[in-house]
Amino acid sequence: MIKNLTDEQLVIQLIEGNKFAFGEIYDRYWYKLFCIAFHQTGTKEEAEELVHDLFESLWNRREQSNIRHLSSYLVISMKNLITNFIKSKITWRRYKEYVMLQKMHENSLTEDTAEFTDLSQALDNALKKLPEKTSKIFQLSRFENQSVKDIAKELNLSEKAVEYHITKSLKVLKDHLWIYHTQN
């Protein structure tokens, strides 16, 4: 009778492909292995899946196995499965976090681009409302980084006149672009 066999005898029968010996090993150890897996994973489903994987591996590799102490072999195999399972969960979680951060970054870039486009358009519209000379002086000052002295020389104006046009343009832009102003 299979139930009366020792673990060593069951292993010999298992290696020979005896399904009844495999069934007896399962009956003897499934609960112990389930408890180990459940204690480590915290969920019944994952523990059951790990026990199933262990016994499937035991059956599929029965001819190559070199089992000396069945109980120790099964417990160590279960602990290895649990370790690999936990590592894969950590890796999966890190991957999901990475994907989520990438999506957040992409959304942020899209929002920044949209905001920049809106601001750029609003700036163009505000500059169009300025007199041509004032707009030109502002662009030379702020977009081409020319000094007041250089602008005055280029346009044959006094430095005070250039400063007046820059101040005037800044006031108009401030009035037209107030919605884009942040407290930062």
- Give yes or no for a contact between 33 and 54, defined as CB atoms under 8 angstroms apart: yes
Give dist(CA 173, CA 37) in Å, integer: 67
The answer as to whether 116 is a domain residue is no
Query: Residue 34 pLDDT > 90, yes or no?
Result: yes
The answer as to whether 106 is a domain residue is no
- pLDDT tens for 78-124 read 999 988 888 888 777 777 777 777 777 676 666 666 677 777 787 78
Show Cβ contacts of residue 129 under 8 Å, excluding neighbours closer than 6 positions.
Answer: 172, 176
Determine the residue type at 37: A
Query: Residue 183 pLDDT > 60, yes or no?
Result: no
pLDDT value at position 30? Answer: 95
The answer as to whether 115 is a domain residue is no
pLDDT value at position 182? Answer: 59
- Give yes or no for a contact between 33 and 49, defined as CB atoms under 8 angstroms apart: no
The answer as to whether 43 is a domain residue is yes
Quickly tell me which residue has 């005898």 as its tokens: 9
User: Domain of 167?
Assistant: 129-180
Give dist(CA 30, CA 48) in Å, integer: 9
25 with 79, same domain? yes
Provide the whole-model pTM: 0.51
The CATH number that applies at residue 159 is: 1.10.10
91 with 37, same domain? yes
- pLDDT tens for 138-167 read 888 888 888 889 999 999 989 899 888 888
- Total domains present in the chain: 2
Query: Residue 184 pLDDT > 50, yes or no?
Result: no
Give dist(CA 7, CA 50) in Å, integer: 22
The CATH number that applies at residue 56 is: 1.10.1740.10
pLDDT value at position 114? Answer: 67
pLDDT value at position 152? Answer: 92
Could you give the count of Cα atoms lying within 13 Å of 114 in the half-sphere of its Cβ?
6
Q: Which of 49, 75, 95 is the last residue of a domain?
A: 95
